[in-house]
């Protein structure tokens, strides 16, 4: 009889959390700005200068210790203006094929120090990551935990319009008001803008003449003058009146 045993999946352990001292070194000291110009300087003197500038910024000393095989008297050349301490260390150490790890061991004498060794590590041991602690509040929640994104469902619901509270600003225009707005303003003058006051005077003078001829029984001559007013002075009030008289006479 063959027995089959289901393999159990062992969940990965949570990454270790930085100690308060290690987190302060990683988040504060290594982020401090420095300006240096080293020319064929001893490694230990270069690191001492960087540490001194951090102390001037009230960030404390950048303590270091060296792994076996690393010489403090190796000479380096590096210049950086207003760079972070970790940028300066990267520029220095890559010349020497060196790396560093922020020591994170509670109650250890080297807790928060930089351990310098052969390699290319930059703060963390090779192949590992560390959950960082807030140096001011040990054990506080991680930043990503404090700023959780809104749940998709709630976000979508927030975007949906409330049927009980329709957006009054988006109501369709009142058809009556729209039509009224489109109607021409009857109070505006309909006179031709090209007609001058002089044209109006001349047209009225000819209109009066045509009316007098009509009253005197000279209908044919009056009709000729009315037509002249309409043709010669279009757009004038006199021309409009003359046209109206002609239309009545033709009926």
What is the distance between the alpha carbons of residues 104 and 64, in angstroms, rounded to a whole number?
13
Mean of pLDDT over the chain: 79
**Burial of residue 180 (number of CB atoms within 10 Å: 0-12, 13-18, 19+):** exposed
pLDDT digits (tens, 9 = 90+) for 98-118: 999 999 999 899 999 999 999
Lowest-confidence segment of 50-54, 101-105, 173-177, 232-236 by average pLDDT: 173-177
- Confidence class for position 71, pLDDT limits 50, 70, 90: very high
**In whole angstroms, what is the distance from residue 4 CA to residue 77 CA?**
64
What would the pLDDT profile of 160-218 be if each residue is shown by its tens digit? Answer: 655 555 554 455 555 555 555 555 443 334 456 678 988 899 999 999 999 999 899 99
Rg of the chain over all Cα atoms, to the nearest angstrom: 48
Q: Is the pLDDT of residue 156 over 70?
A: no
Name the nearest CA neighbour of 29 among 98, 89, 84, 106: 84
pLDDT at residue 86 is higher than 80: yes
**Complete domains list, the chain, with CATH:** 20-132 (3.55.50), 197-250 (1.20.58)
């Amino acid at each position: 009889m063959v027995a089959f045993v289901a393999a159990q999946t062992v969940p990965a352990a949570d990454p270790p959390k930085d100690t308060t001292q290690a987190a302060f070194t990683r988040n504060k000291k290594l982020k401090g700005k420095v300006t240096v110009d080293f020319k064929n300087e001893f490694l230990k003197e270069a690191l001492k200068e960087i540490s001194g500038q951090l102390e001037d910024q009230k960030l404390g000393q950048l303590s270091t210790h060296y792994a076996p095989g690393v010489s403090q008297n190796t000479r380096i050349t590096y210049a950086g203006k207003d760079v972070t301490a970790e940028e300066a260390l990267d520029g220095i150490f890559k010349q020497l094929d060196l790396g560093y790890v922020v020591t994170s061991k509670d109650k250890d004498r080297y807790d928060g120090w930089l351990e310098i060794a052969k390699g290319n590590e930059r703060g963390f041991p090779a192949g590992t990551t560390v959950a960082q602690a807030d140096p001011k509040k040990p054990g506080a929640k991680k930043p990503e935990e404090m700023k959780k994104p809104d749940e998709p469902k709630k976000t979508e619901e927030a975007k949906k319009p409330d049927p009980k509270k329709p957006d009054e600003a988006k109501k369709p225009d009142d058809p009556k008001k729209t039509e009224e707005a489109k109607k021409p303003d009857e109070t505006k003058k309909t006179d031709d803008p090209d007609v001058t006051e002089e044209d109006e005077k001349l047209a009225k003078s000819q209109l009066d003449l045509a009316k007098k001829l009509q009253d005197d029984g000279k209908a044919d001559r009056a009709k000729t003058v009315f037509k002249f007013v309409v043709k010669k002075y279009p757009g004038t009030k006199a021309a409009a009146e003359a046209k109206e008289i002609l239309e009545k006479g033709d009926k």
